[in-house]
Amino acid sequence: MASQEVLQAFVQAATQGSFSAAARKLGRSQSTISAAVASLEIDLDLTLFDRSSRKPTLTPAGHVMLQRAEEILAATSRLEMTASQLAQGVEPKLTVAISDTYQSDRFEAALSAFDQRYPDLELECLIAECDDLVALVQSGRAHVAFAEQQASYPPDLVSSTVQERTEIALFVSRAHPLAALAVVDQDALQQHRELRLATIVNPYESRAKGRVWSAPSYLMLLEMAQGGFGWAPLPRWLVARFDAGTLQELKVRGWPKPLFVDALWSRLHPPGPAGSWLLGKMLE
């Protein structure tokens, strides 16, 4: 049976695109990663990488084994999290990062129960979005995150979908020209400034056509929309709670859109007992 360290070396080499990149990610030498992958190939009696070119690429067998290795690492991470719940001692501080897309009665109830169970533990809550949330968990700055669901995550993160969803819609100030239209199409939207989300770690990942103002949080976008500076996609709950009737929801085909939320944590530095308990309450 391959060790977790060997499987981690294989997964990182496959997903990072090179042995040297995997070595930097895991804080190991390139020779250590190469030796780990070679030993795995011997143990499995399979060639996992095609080394005929400058950069190794996965063979067909390698693609299949990558999926299996990720499943094993995810199961190991969950096993470690369960063991952490049973271990003695609780982390002195828990940092939770959460998206403004998500407003949850479940989360608020979980926090109330958390306060009763861990009254002396320091709890820190951070607000971030998309890639910024992922970066906070990857770096260890946050132990747990609740993020707008993405199609995929880095291999060092574990995700599980929360059994709740939220909705996001397009809003403008009631004084904005778009507010006078009964139905708004894409051509009408493109004639006015878009207020859009831009993460801090990847501010230029997706470029919009036309005039754009951006901000790293939905609350900032809400304030821009209230000022009449353009139209913005905003979580409905955020508008209901923080807007005093100055915004109007636009009727646009395809909107509002449902959003699902994933819980995220790191398999390299999994949450301790308190973080594991909070995750369990959110995912039950």
Arithmetic mean of pLDDT over the chain: 89
Give the burial class of 210: count Cβ atoms within 10 A of its Cβ; 0-12 exposed, 13-18 middle, 19 or more buried: exposed
The per-residue pLDDT for 200 is 60
Q: pLDDT tens digits for 165-183?
A: 889 999 999 999 999 999 9
> How large is the average pLDDT for residues 14-24?
90
Taking CA atoms, 266 is separated from 17, 21, 80, 84, in Å, by: 20, 19, 11, 14
Kindly state whether residues 54 and 112 are assigned to the same domain: no
Kindly state whether residues 42 and 16 are assigned to the same domain: yes
Kindly state whether residues 222 and 245 are assigned to the same domain: yes
* Helix, strand, coil % over all residues of the chain, rounded to 5: 45, 25, 35
Report the domain count for the chain: 3
Name the residue type at position 164: E
> How large is the average pLDDT for residues 118-124?
88
Structural domain range at position 159? 93-164+261-283
Kindly state whether residues 230 and 157 are assigned to the same domain: no
**Domain of residue 63, CATH code:** 1.10.10.10
Q: Of 88, 113, 146, which residue is a domain's last?
A: 88
Kindly state whether residues 19 and 156 are assigned to the same domain: no
pTM above 0.85, yes or no: no
- The most distant pair of C-alpha atoms in the chain lies apart, rounded to whole Å, by 69
The per-residue pLDDT for 171 is 97
Give dist(CA 261, CA 160) in Å, integer. 9
The per-residue pLDDT for 143 is 96
The count of residues in the chain is 284
Q: Of 28, 61, 88, which residue is a domain's last?
A: 88
Q: Is 198 helix (H, G, I), strand (E, B) or coil?
A: coil
The per-residue pLDDT for 257 is 92
Kindly state whether residues 149 and 103 are assigned to the same domain: yes
Kindly state whether residues 242 and 268 are assigned to the same domain: no
Q: pLDDT tens digits for 195-216?
A: 998 876 554 455 556 789 999 8
**Domain of residue 241, CATH code:** 3.40.190.290
Give dist(CA 79, CA 217) in Å, integer. 34
Kindly state whether residues 81 and 105 are assigned to the same domain: no
Kindly state whether residues 185 and 236 are assigned to the same domain: yes
Kindly state whether residues 176 and 99 are assigned to the same domain: no
Kindly state whether residues 117 and 173 are assigned to the same domain: no
Q: Which band of pLDDT confidence, cut at 50, 70 and 90, is reported for residue 11?
A: very high
**Domain of residue 159, CATH code:** 3.40.190.10
Kindly state whether residues 108 and 153 are assigned to the same domain: yes
Q: Can you list the positions of beta strands (E) in 174-231? A: 194-197, 212-215
CA angle (131, 132, 138) in 5-degree steps: 85
